[in-house]
Amino acid sequence: MARPYAVVSAAALSLMLAHASPAQTYRDSGGSVLSGFVPLTPGAGPLFVPGNPGHVRQAGTTGVDYSANKPSIPNVGASFGSTGPYANYVLIATVPANAFRNTLDIENTSGAQIAIVRDDGGAATGSTPANASVFALGPGSATVGAQGGSYVSQTFKGRAQIYAPSPTAFVAAFAE
């Protein structure tokens, strides 16, 4: 007589083997894709150290802009002009494009609205940004340090330029 739990266990095992999940995309120190596994070469030393970084690359792109009626976007590294919704906003920080970035997080902790310009990161300083879009992050309360609007992405790999009405606006930005 078959034991019921043995039949269930065998069925569960066969389902797990039939529907294996794909792994993250791993790259060796030369940039070659290692599909679904990380080989450990004898004598190569530990993985995820400067000599053998074993990059884990999360899927993502620089995005496509589908904005409607957007204002004029300044050239890379320049401030906004004297007209429009972001008149006289100044560039306070830039997060460069990075294909290996896993997370981009921008937090407005100032008492004023800020603007973020996202682009693909290909244009040089002083040039018109390609595939660019702009959006605002709301202010915190009137006191600096209060949480306002935030932008977090685990897939955007392009450049993010952060603009504010004052060059002393407090905005937290980090990438990992």
Mean pLDDT of 111-132: 93
- Rg for the chain, CA atoms, rounded: 23
DSSP bridge pairs for 95: 160
**DSSP-derived secondary structure letter, 126:** T
Beta carbons of 63 and 131 less than 8 angstroms apart: yes
Residue type, 41: T
Checking if the pLDDT of 137 tops 70, the result is yes
| Residue 24 C-alpha from the chain's centroid | 16
Checking if the pLDDT of 81 tops 60, the result is yes
The answer to whether the predicted template modeling score (pTM) of the entire model surpasses 0.85 is: no
Percent of the chain with pLDDT over 90: 47
Higher pLDDT, 163 or 29: 163
Mean pLDDT of 108-120: 93
Q: How many helices (H) and strands (E) does the chain have?
A: 1, 10
**DSSP-derived secondary structure letter, 113:** -
Backbone angles phi, psi at 32, to 5 degrees: -70, 140
- Which residue ranges make up each domain of the chain? 22-57, 90-175
Checking if the pLDDT of 59 tops 80, the result is no
Confidence band of 57 (pLDDT split at 50, 70, 90): low
The residue whose two tokens read 């009137």 is: 142
Mean pLDDT of 126-141: 91
Q: What is the pLDDT of residue 49?
A: 61
Mean pLDDT of 52-74: 71
